[in-house]
Chain A
């Protein structure tokens, strides 16, 4: 019979990473990884190429030298690069096969002493002479290549990073606009307005799907809510009509000749009907409270407190209860006027009903709280149970057991705190605004 409203508040300050930040971060991590991996490949490739080129160059030098020697150019007249040396060996010596040495050499003109130096050599027997031809070349060291590579890739990465960040934040606002709009529409959706969410159709497929789903879901929620509400109203109607019939028949029956016994029976039935009717009305009220059907407005709560007391004045006097009141004027509250009446009525009616003969009631209203203190027998149930529906201090009592549940519901709705303190014969109920 009583259900939640389904009103969900979305806090704008919800902790968590923004979607675009996540995307960007992920992209940056992947890019960084790919660039790092790529740099290793590039590094190896460069080293390979440089070595190959160097060897090809050195080999061609040697070939050129050998060609000149074959043509019979004497050793002193050879037109060769300064990095090539030719020395004559003993003809009887065996041929030296092609060799390659990868070493660190000293290269004086360079800034740094160490450099990588490739040397190749081979001996040839031309005619009756034996020559050893050697050539060497300085090439860039792997360290240097790596350094250059790292620097350039680092700059590339930085540029990429800057572009990605800038673009993602500029574009994300555009691309995610429909999504953010849907979010906003969801957070302002309130089932009690009975308006399903209507959204513009975005061009992105996912957002289109999302919006379609949201519209369908809210339409269904609104329809379900309507039928549930109608059901409650109809149920209430269906119960009230038979109650009206019973009450009427009893009233007609009272006009006939009845004896005292019958009068007592009628009286009992009347009381049961009254209680049933009260419970029914109250349940409907609770349902309406659950559905947040009562709009709040700024009211002068002091007036409602005073009116409430005024309504109970007679009853209070009749029970010879001492009433003390200290009500601050002009206390403004955001509350529905009808609910303010019910709040005061239920609280005061409890204070009177559960009082003891010659007891007291103190009502204090300040800017921050309403305090009603009254005498009464000590509680027999835990304090927190009192705010539950159908919980009463004495199960046999004629009250509906819904009065404080309603008060609690009203307070919850308005974000007001309510607490109950029981010390022996003293009962204090406080509502903090």
Chain B
């Protein structure tokens, strides 16, 4: 997968690239509107991560251009504005998804992957890892060929782990992934623990390996070399 990161803040751009590169994603970056325009015209990207506020132009204009030229690239809009209007106008203008600052890198990664799956692999939306198989269109998860009886949240959780293998996922990041924006108000992440526990139990019951481990004080990690 090839991704263009259009973000004027170098530190933030580095964070994103650093994380995505470790997932085997090829990353390029542009820090200005014009730079981004040049790259979009010259190269093809699977996904463009687009900050709306750029020093020399509005990112939504780039989005306009991409849609006008009927480019295949998916677009994930990043904005500090979490206002409804911006969210709607971004999505109405053809952005594939929208994420607000400050986001979690695993969450960004999960969204980029989701966009990539929707855009590029027509119908082929099965993610496999060893004995685990997850179909993102039918929402069916299998272990050793046998169907796992998962709730919607447990399915999302499994998919989140699979797209962020070997990464520390904090409870906050998991909570936000599963419950959305309003988890800010919930100081208690016991229910994250509950869901992770249930998922692990269901995988083990189907004779799958227990890949999900806790990382002391921080959260959880899906360990591939278990």
- In the complex, what distance in Å separates the CA atom of A400 from the CA atom of B185? 8
A248 contacts B217, C-beta separation under 8 Å: no
Within 8 A of B (CB), among A237-288: 237-241, 243-249, 251-252, 254-255, 260, 263-264, 266-267, 270-271, 273-274, 277-278, 281-282, 284, 288
- The number of inter-chain residue pairs (CB within 8 angstroms) is 122
A252 contacts B191, C-beta separation under 8 Å: no
Given contacts A244-B103, A263-B216, A266-B218, contact A288 B191 (CB under 8 A): no
B184 contacts A314, C-beta separation under 8 Å: no
B53 contacts A237, C-beta separation under 8 Å: yes
Given contacts A252-B19, A318-B194, contact A274 B184 (CB under 8 A): yes
A245 contacts B172, C-beta separation under 8 Å: no
Given contacts A251-B105, A353-B188, A399-B185, contact A241 B9 (CB under 8 A): yes
B12 contacts A248, C-beta separation under 8 Å: yes
Residue among A248, A249, A311 with most chain B CB within 10 A: A248
Q: Which of A233, A240, A252, A270 contacts B101 (CB 8 A)?
A: A240
Given contacts A237-B80, A277-B184, A281-B184, contact A311 B215 (CB under 8 A): no
Does A349 sit within 8 A of B, measured CB to CB?
A: yes
- In the complex, what distance in Å separates the CA atom of A170 from the CA atom of B168? 81
Does B139 sit within 8 A of A, measured CB to CB?
A: no
Does B179 sit within 8 A of A, measured CB to CB?
A: yes
Does B130 sit within 8 A of A, measured CB to CB?
A: no
Kindly specify which of B81-89, B90-98, B119-127 makes contact with the partner chain: B81-89
- In the complex, what distance in Å separates the CA atom of A318 from the CA atom of B193? 11
- In the complex, what distance in Å separates the CA atom of A398 from the CA atom of B81? 24
A-B pairs, 8 with minimum CB distance: A248-B15, A244-B102, A237-B80, A278-B184, A243-B102, A240-B101, A240-B80, A398-B187
- In the complex, what distance in Å separates the CA atom of A267 from the CA atom of B171? 10
- In the complex, what distance in Å separates the CA atom of A244 from the CA atom of B170? 15
Q: Which of B168, B179, B184 contacts A251 (CB 8 A)?
A: B168
Residues of B within 8 A of A270 (CB): 170, 172
Distance of B171 from chain A, by nearest CB (Å):
9
Binding site for B on A (CB under 8 A): 233, 236-241, 243-249, 251-252, 254-255, 260, 263-264, 266-267, 270-271, 273-274, 277-278, 281-282, 284, 288, 311, 314-315, 318-319, 338, 342, 345-346, 349, 353, 397-400, 403
Residues of B within 8 A of A282 (CB): 184
**Would you call the interface of chain A mostly helix, strand, loop, or mixed?**
helix
Binding site for A on B (CB under 8 A): 9, 11-12, 15-16, 18-19, 22, 53, 80-84, 100-106, 167-168, 170, 172-173, 179, 181-182, 184-188, 190-191, 194, 215-218
Residues of A within 8 A of B105 (CB): 247-248, 251-252
- In the complex, what distance in Å separates the CA atom of A430 from the CA atom of B156? 36
B188 contacts A244, C-beta separation under 8 Å: no
Residues of B within 8 A of A398 (CB): 187
Q: Could you write out 11 A-B pairs with CB less than 8 Å apart?
A: A237-B53, A241-B102, A243-B102, A246-B102, A247-B103, A255-B167, A281-B181, A311-B182, A353-B187, A400-B184, A403-B185
A281 contacts B15, C-beta separation under 8 Å: no
Smallest Cβ-Cβ distance to B184: which chain A residue: A278
- In the complex, what distance in Å separates the CA atom of A273 from the CA atom of B109? 20
Q: Which of B9, B15, B80, B170 contacts A249 (CB 8 A)?
A: B15
Smallest Cβ-Cβ distance to A253: which chain B residue: B168
Q: Which of B167, B186, B188, B218 contacts A263 (CB 8 A)?
A: B218
Q: Which of A243, A319, A345 contacts B182 (CB 8 A)?
A: A345
